[in-house]
Amino acid sequence: MITLIHLANESLSTLEGALRRMGFQSCRADQPDQAAPSGPIILAGSGPMDPACAQLKGSGWWRELPQLAAYGRPVLGINLGLHILAEGSEESPRNTGLGMIPGIVRRLGPGVKDPHWGWSPVRQVRDHPTFPDIRGGWLFFAHSHALEPGSETLSIAVHGRPFSVMECRGRAVGIQAHLEKSGCFGLSLLEKTLAVLGEQPGQESAAN
Amino acid sequence: MDAKRIVPVLRVIAGQAPSDGACRLELEGADGILFQDAGPASLRAEWIRAVAGSLSIPFVVEAPFQGFAELEEVLEAGADKVILPAGPSLEAQLAAAVRAFGRSRVGVAVNAVLSVDGHWLADPEGLGALAWMAGLEQIGCGEILLRATPGGTDSAALIQEAAQLSLSVLVLCPGGDALAADALLHGADGLAVADPARSPRQWKQALAVRGLAFRD
């Protein structure tokens, strides 16, 4: 069972619909005690970072998420979720990130459309033993900030400058693109990513 | 490099969204869907949740929002972005929406009309269209849905100047291939197209010969 952290002002309808069509089971969790007992935890969002961090701190997720990950629970951050998993962001200088993925999130540009709202080709820059090859794929992005690529970044796209699209540190995965809104290719990548995190369609995940 | 977007326009009538049509357009290469809903606000959340649960591409809702609560409901139901119409409280509504949801989820429709003395004016605001769009960008607008009258070649300079602002410009399709290509070549980020006889993929094939890049 996949747990979707429910952030205020964010809609999970598209992600839930995509998971359902692929045969995954999911539940929403406003706070940690509503999470499924096992399976990946997804933190997805596209809105401002400050209120999201405040909500996560108030609900207990801010403290629980790193602890669950430390015990081996897979965590997937999508867009704003990736930014929160990183060490910090220029968007929210008063907050540090959760630090589960190294690196700092910086504003895109200057001299580019803001927000970056559209489709960009993605380039794989580092092979991973289990993650799928996304060479040549187009993904949908909706963001003004992005993680600076690092030595372990798996794939990048370019909007004025290169930015990280996919990161994997142990059981913590961050993806800048909205895979659930990236057509068949995005759904395929989401399914494969969840498989890497131990989740298969149509069955409960193994205990973590 | 970002791809130019082909965004079919679908009308929502009395709370009935053409969901099957939207899914078919996704398979036919649409890069997003623009739903225009002039119907009752009370019917919106239901069709938006249904569409969000079945589409795997972004979709935008243009509607006459009466107050913040209506657009909040649309975004929380699953729309990726709202397009706010012109109106007396637009700037305050835009600022509140950007504060709550971020730039990426809020756009504004701009109706630009060429005056008899050759200036583009935003209708009904009556201000210079470009200055009006620049002001919206300053407030935090993430996208302009531009309707230019007359469209086509006459609007090329306006599109070019608008495209130099740091926000996305989606142009309501000005007509046939040549005019559509002109809009994109002058810097528009995408076309909103309502031609039911041609699929998004056919639009892309027709426009690719002009050197424009589209998502495969």
Residue type, position B82, single letter: V
pLDDT less than 70: residues of chain A: 203-208
Higher pLDDT, A97 or B176: A97
What interhelical angle do B68-77 and B44-54 show, nearest 10? 30
What is the predicted pLDDT for the residue at A208? 41
What is the predicted pLDDT for the residue at A203? 59
Burial A39-62 (b: 16+ CB within 10 A, else e): bbbbbbbbbbbebbbebbeebebb
Rounded CA-CA distance A180/A16 in Å is 9
Q: List the CATH number of the domain containing B172.
A: 3.20.20.70
Among B2, B166, B168, select the one facing A120 at the smallest CB separation: B2
What is the predicted pLDDT for the residue at B199? 95
**Domain with B192 in it:** 5-208
What is the predicted pLDDT for the residue at A205? 46
Testing the interface with A: which of B5, B7, B51, B56 to mutate, by most A Cβ within 10 A?
B56
Whether A202 is covered by a domain: the verdict is no
Measured between beta carbons, the chain A residues lying within 8 angstroms of B56 are 14, 18, 180-184, 186-187
What is the predicted pLDDT for the residue at A133? 77
With contact defined as beta carbons under 8 Å apart, do B186 and B156 qualify?
yes
**Domain with A173 in it:** 2-196
Is the bond leading into A115 cis (omega within 30 degrees of zero)?
yes
Per-residue pLDDT averaged across B182-187, rounded? 92
With contact defined as beta carbons under 8 Å apart, do B130 and B137 qualify?
no
Rounded CA-CA distance B40/B37 in Å is 8
Residue type, position A176, single letter: Q
Q: What is the domain count for chain B?
A: 1
Whether A105 is covered by a domain: the verdict is yes
What is the predicted pLDDT for the residue at A84? 98
Q: Residue for token digits 């699209």?
A: A165
Give Cβ neighbours of residue A178 (< 8 Å, ≥ 6 apart): A14, A46, A78, A79, A139, A140, A141, A142, A186, B58
Rounded CA-CA distance B190/B40 in Å is 28
Number of other CB atoms surrounding residue A148 within 10 Å: 15
Q: What is the domain count for chain A?
A: 1
**φ, ψ for residue B122 (rounded to 5)?**
-80, 130
pTM as predicted: 0.94
**Contact flag B53-A181 (C-beta cutoff 8 Å):** no
What is the predicted pLDDT for the residue at A59? 98
Whether A203 is covered by a domain: the verdict is no
> Rg of chain B over CA atoms, in angstroms?
16
Measured between beta carbons, the chain A residues lying within 8 angstroms of B215 are 119, 138
One DSSP character per residue, A62-124 reads HHHHHHHHHTT--EEEEEHHHHHHSSEETT-TTSB---SS-SEEEE--SSS-SSEEEEEE-EE
pLDDT tens, residue by residue, B20-56: 999 999 999 999 999 999 999 999 999 999 999 999 9
Whether B213 is covered by a domain: the verdict is no
Whether A208 is covered by a domain: the verdict is no
Q: List the CATH number of the domain containing A69.
A: 3.40.50.880
Whether A205 is covered by a domain: the verdict is no
Whether B190 is covered by a domain: the verdict is yes
Q: Which residue of A has its CA nearest to B56?
A: A181
Rounded CA-CA distance B120/A175 in Å is 42
**Contact flag A11-B76 (C-beta cutoff 8 Å):** yes
With contact defined as beta carbons under 8 Å apart, do A113 and A129 qualify?
no
ipTM over 0.90: yes
Residue type, position A162, single letter: P
What is the predicted pLDDT for the residue at B200? 96
User: What does the longest C-alpha to C-alpha distance in chain B come to?
Assistant: 49
